A and B are shown apart, each in its own frame.
Chain A
Amino acid sequence: MDVEQNDGQTLTSDLQALSVSDPLSNQFSSLNDLCYEASSLQELASRGSWRSILDKVVRARKLSLLQKPHEHLIYLCYNVLALTKLRKYGEASEELDSLEDFDSARYKYETHPEHYPNRSGSMVPFALRWIHAEIPQRLGKRQETLDRLYSLLDFVRTKLKEKESKNMNFCVDRWKKREAFLISSISSHHLSHKEFSVCLALLRQLLNSDPSNPILLSKLGYIQMQLGDLEGSKALFNRVETLMTEGNPGALLDEVQFKNLVNRNKALIYLVGKDYVSAVREYEECIERDPTDVVAINNKALCLMYLRDLSDSIKVLENALERIPTVALNETIVVNLCSMYELAYVNHSDIKRTLSNWIARVAPDDFDSSCTRI
């Protein structure tokens, strides 16, 4: 098969020869060829307009705008995702309950030959399996979520073995990404419950198959730093720096991102050694290189506070929110800023209310405003 000339705009002659009744084999220059108004879903999700997505799904269902089985599944997936983002976990759970078992025939392409004449396999979006596993924890049933996630990991590994044995390299790559995603997600659950040993054991598995991943190495370093193993984290950060000087492995990070990662790691080492001045210097280098590096901005503000400069630490955060709201507006920065306000002002409720009003105008639908502690 010929490779396309440019970004998916031209078809090869092979594809042109195929039947046009299978919607997924058509030339697609836009996402809409995959699913009814998919690009609109993508756009709304990128803006954080989850309430609009709910409306869109209701409308599509009411007016019967979805023709194909896979479109119903995708819209259901976005519906559940939107409900989850909006913290309406009960409704999300109900929506998921309306589904049959994921492996049932109903969700296989071959069951609907009238829609997908030449296709077989599961039409379930992988994200839906994951969301289904995540929901119980948000309803207070943490163990259920862990059970589902570990089962899902088994499922992914089985698929991986299957694709590897058939030399389906592209599929192997996709399922490997899903495996890494799942392991990371499970680690997040253990981390938030301070189950560090389990978390480290899981991530070691990931590291074994990807030992030169600078992002993964750095995150392992953060975990070690969090639990207090400073020597261990230093060793990991040194390895990341070595990787950078050796040349960029893979396409994980571009030059600016890689340099900033190394600088931020250096800053952390200074920070734990209580050399806040040097840490600030490292973060300023990052910000100079990439003015949207919000991790550097946030951490710099904290260093300033540990240097007794509460006024400047507040200015750094306020400035970021004003200058680059879509990158800087996240719950962590707001929590830090509000802590600073509570310290700096006796009557801090006024200034927090000002912040809160601004957030209400600018924030995406899923922003958790309880972080302002008003």
Chain B
Amino acid sequence: MNASMGLHSLTFRVMRLCRPSFQVDDPLRFDSLDLLTGEDIFDDPATVSQAQLPRLFHRCNTNTTKPGEVDTYRNRYVLQNPTDAMGLPGFLVLPQAFGAIYLGETFCSYISINNSSNVEVKDVIIKVEIQTERQRIMLLDTSKSPVASIHSGGRYDFIMEHDVKELGTHTLVCTALYTDGDGDCKYLPQSFKFIVASPLSVRTKVRTVKDITFLEACIENHTKSNLYMEQVDFVPAQNWSTTTLKADEHYSEINCQTREIFKPPILIRSGGGIHNYLYQLRLSSHESTQMKVEGSNVLGKFQITWHTNLGEPGRLQTQPIFGSPISHKEIKLKIVEVPSITISGRPFLIRLNLTNQTDRKMGPFEVWMSKGNFHEQKAITVNGLHKMVLPHVEAFESTDFNLNLVASRLGVQKITGITMFDIKEKKIYDPLPDLEIFVDAD
């Protein structure tokens, strides 16, 4: 546009308008009795009339004129009641600094366009935009209905809100296109930068005990404020259901008189404070032997809401949380038959059963016995080829096969380290648990 950018009649004034805070004072206020008498003056009732003194002070402490009419600065000096010493009279205070902004929060600001010149300006087209590395978001555009005029000394105000969903540098770009007093078309751009940081990190651990999966989450607060955790919910994936596990109440809490009125809040300390959460997950389907494991093992994700001063909210969702890596349960391998007598040096067969517990064809497989960890040779080894290859197994089908073994030592010995390898998926399974047999002499 053919607009000049010289001296401007208009200026943008911007103030971040997050929620206010309660003013906390450092009051120097007293009960006058505590200033003008010794602390033990009432110990001796005979010499001083106990009721007389306080009444005298009451006259001085409180207003002698109509209720509310105070003609001195008495309230800066005298306590109305002991809790005034808390310095929390209830005044709210506007945010005094821009502060830090974090992902998940709402950026709110008061924007005022001031005409600080002597003349009226006309036809003001205002645009407000947020620019990030990835995108530009238009928050306000008055092109369709420009502000007809702003007189000298006048203002046009608006309040903007934007949910912060990206990290990094953000620029609030305010522009005004207007006709000034001389009839010239002027263009005023003003921008304000701020950086969005990450407020929390969530570290998880998954443990499976029998058929219960436990999910432990540790939330760490990277912000400069204490965070009140309004909601830390685990939203389970399909097939899973979740219960939040909470610690028992401390005995001092249970006995506390004010328990009904007032519960200590979950507050994570600023700059590195942490809080741990524990969830119990169960598979919704009751057929645990025919688990449908679709390759990925997503358990769900977290939905977190926190509050800072006066309930200023922040919201985040985590990436999906994965369960433990694929376990035995896809494929079940077990030893089904062992000879009743085993003689040292004489080869023997053990029969194993391989069951495919998934709904798709699996294999082919390789089976072998791992070499021992120790330098000594294992007592029971494979007799013949080191590796055995098994063909495909259809969905939900099973197959039996024999392993040819030989024992080299007498007594109670272990069949250990039978390992299976899925050639196609290139997945190695944990070895079978050890099985003990008795090896006789010839």
- A194-B270, A215-B83 known; A347 and B307 CB under 8 Å? no
Inter-chain contact A207/B40, CB cutoff 8 Å = no
Inter-chain contact A228/B257, CB cutoff 8 Å = no
Q: Chain B contacts of A158 at CB under 8 A?
A: none
Inter-chain contact B47/A119, CB cutoff 8 Å = yes
Q: Chain B contacts of A220 at CB under 8 A?
A: 262
A373, B25: Cα distance in complex, Å? 18
Inter-chain contact B311/A225, CB cutoff 8 Å = yes
Q: Mark A266-310, 1 if CB is under 8 A from B, else 0.
A: 000001100000000000000000111111001100100110101
Q: Chain B contacts of A201 at CB under 8 A?
A: 264
A and B contact pairs by CB, cutoff 8 A, 9 listed: A25-B47, A126-B39, A184-B86, A228-B306, A292-B68, A295-B90, A299-B90, A329-B73, A335-B96
Question: Separation in Å of the A127 CB from the closest CB of chain B?
Answer: 4
Q: Is the C-beta of B89 less than 8 angstroms from some C-beta in chain A?
A: yes
Inter-chain contact A305/B73, CB cutoff 8 Å = no
Question: Separation in Å of the B432 CB from the closest CB of chain A?
Answer: 52
A28, B79: Cα distance in complex, Å? 23
Q: Chain A contacts of B227 at CB under 8 A?
A: 228
A256, B63: Cα distance in complex, Å? 15
- A178-B34, A220-B262 known; A327 and B228 CB under 8 Å? no
Q: Is the C-beta of B401 less than 8 angstroms from some C-beta in chain A?
A: no
Question: Separation in Å of the A60 CB from the closest CB of chain B?
Answer: 15
- A188-B27, A188-B88, A191-B87 known; A346 and B82 CB under 8 Å? no
Q: Is the C-beta of A249 less than 8 angstroms from some C-beta in chain B?
A: no
Inter-chain contact A177/B31, CB cutoff 8 Å = yes
Q: Mark B69-90, 1 if CB is under 8 A from A, else 0.
A: 1111111111101111111111
Which B residues contact A (CB, under 8 angstroms)?
11, 13, 15, 17, 19-28, 30-53, 55-56, 59-60, 67-79, 81-94, 96, 110, 112, 114, 116, 155, 157-159, 225-228, 230, 256-258, 261-265, 267, 270, 306-312
Inter-chain contact B36/A38, CB cutoff 8 Å = yes
Question: Separation in Å of the B316 CB from the closest CB of chain A?
Answer: 15
A227, B81: Cα distance in complex, Å? 25
Question: Separation in Å of the B158 CB from the closest CB of chain A?
Answer: 7
Q: Is the C-beta of A229 less than 8 angstroms from some C-beta in chain B?
A: yes
Inter-chain contact A184/B77, CB cutoff 8 Å = no
Which of A74-82, A93-101, A353-361 lies at the interface with chain B? A74-82
Inter-chain contact B70/A78, CB cutoff 8 Å = no
Q: Chain A contacts of B79 at CB under 8 A?
A: 181
Nearest chain-B residue to A125 (Cβ)?
B35
Q: Chain A contacts of B35 at CB under 8 A?
A: 74, 77-78, 81, 125, 127
Q: Chain A contacts of B43 at CB under 8 A?
A: 120-121, 168, 171
Question: Separation in Å of the A179 CB from the closest CB of chain B?
Answer: 8
How many A residues touch B, CB cutoff 8 Å? Answer: 130
A119, B32: Cα distance in complex, Å? 21
Q: Which 10 A-B pairs have the closest CB atoms?
A: A228-B307, A121-B40, A228-B228, A123-B38, A180-B82, A184-B85, A48-B73, A292-B68, A126-B34, A181-B82
Q: Chain B contacts of A230 at CB under 8 A?
A: 307, 311
Q: Is the C-beta of A200 less than 8 angstroms from some C-beta in chain B?
A: yes
Inter-chain contact B41/A121, CB cutoff 8 Å = yes
Inter-chain contact A336/B81, CB cutoff 8 Å = no
Inter-chain contact A219/B88, CB cutoff 8 Å = yes
Q: Chain A contacts of B56 at CB under 8 A?
A: 7-8, 28-31
Inter-chain contact B36/A31, CB cutoff 8 Å = yes
Q: Chain A contacts of B230 at CB under 8 A?
A: 228
Question: Separation in Å of the B301 CB from the closest CB of chain A?
Answer: 23
- A222-B88, A302-B20, A346-B11 known; A22 and B226 CB under 8 Å? no
A52, B110: Cα distance in complex, Å? 44
Nearest chain-B residue to A233 (Cβ)?
B311
B-side binding surface: helix, strand, loop or mixed? loop
A7, B433: Cα distance in complex, Å? 93
Q: Chain B contacts of A85 at CB under 8 A?
A: 28
- A125-B35, A197-B264, A326-B73 known; A228 and B309 CB under 8 Å? yes
Inter-chain contact B68/A229, CB cutoff 8 Å = no
Question: Separation in Å of the B364 CB from the closest CB of chain A?
Answer: 59
A29, B52: Cα distance in complex, Å? 9
A118, B82: Cα distance in complex, Å? 31
Q: Chain B contacts of A22 at CB under 8 A?
A: 47
Q: Chain B contacts of A207 at CB under 8 A?
A: 258, 261-262
Q: Is the C-beta of A63 less than 8 angstroms from some C-beta in chain B?
A: no
Question: Separation in Å of the A72 CB from the closest CB of chain B?
Answer: 12
Inter-chain contact B306/A184, CB cutoff 8 Å = no
- A171-B43, A196-B267 known; A8 and B52 CB under 8 Å? yes
Nearest chain-B residue to A206 (Cβ)?
B83
Q: Chain A contacts of B33 at CB under 8 A?
A: 174
Q: Is the C-beta of A246 less than 8 angstroms from some C-beta in chain B?
A: no
Q: Which among B24, B41, B310 is the interface contact of A191 at CB below 8 angstroms?
A: B24
Q: Is the C-beta of A232 less than 8 angstroms from some C-beta in chain B?
A: yes
A168, B68: Cα distance in complex, Å? 35
- A120-B43, A302-B20 known; A228 and B312 CB under 8 Å? yes
A215, B84: Cα distance in complex, Å? 9
Inter-chain contact A125/B38, CB cutoff 8 Å = yes
A69, B161: Cα distance in complex, Å? 65
Inter-chain contact A170/B27, CB cutoff 8 Å = no
Q: Which among B50, B82, B91, B308 is the interface contact of A184 at CB below 8 angstroms?
A: B82
Q: Chain A contacts of B77 at CB under 8 A?
A: 45-46, 48
Q: Which among B21, B45, B75, B267 is the interface contact of A327 at CB below 8 angstroms?
A: B75
Q: Chain B contacts of A223 at CB under 8 A?
A: 22, 88
Nearest chain-B residue to A41 (Cβ)?
B36
Inter-chain contact B88/A308, CB cutoff 8 Å = no
- A7-B56, A204-B262, A227-B267 known; A48 and B76 CB under 8 Å? yes
Q: Chain B contacts of A347 at CB under 8 A?
A: 116
- A47-B73, A228-B307 known; A12 and B49 CB under 8 Å? yes
Q: Chain B contacts of A344 at CB under 8 A?
A: 13, 112, 114, 155
Inter-chain contact B15/A339, CB cutoff 8 Å = yes
Inter-chain contact B24/A7, CB cutoff 8 Å = no
Inter-chain contact A109/B86, CB cutoff 8 Å = no
Q: Is the C-beta of A236 less than 8 angstroms from some C-beta in chain B?
A: yes
Inter-chain contact B263/A232, CB cutoff 8 Å = yes
Inter-chain contact B92/A308, CB cutoff 8 Å = no
Question: Separation in Å of the B202 CB from the closest CB of chain A?
Answer: 19
Q: Which among A168, A191, A292, A343 is the interface contact of B86 at CB below 8 angstroms?
A: A191
A236, B258: Cα distance in complex, Å? 11
Inter-chain contact A213/B83, CB cutoff 8 Å = yes
Q: Mark A52-96, 1 if CB is under 8 A from B, else 0.
A: 000000000000000000100110011001001100000000000
Question: Separation in Å of the A74 CB from the closest CB of chain B?
Answer: 6
Question: Separation in Å of the A193 CB from the closest CB of chain B?
Answer: 10
Nearest chain-A residue to B87 (Cβ)?
A188
Q: Mark A331-347, 1 if CB is under 8 A from B, else 0.
A: 01101100110111111
Q: Which among A7, A187, A290, A291 is the interface contact of B55 at CB below 8 angstroms?
A: A7
Q: Is the C-beta of A224 less than 8 angstroms from some C-beta in chain B?
A: yes
Inter-chain contact A332/B40, CB cutoff 8 Å = no
A70, B39: Cα distance in complex, Å? 11
Q: Mark A160-180, 1 if CB is under 8 A from B, else 0.
A: 000000001011001001101
- A211-B258, A219-B88, A302-B94 known; A46 and B78 CB under 8 Å? yes
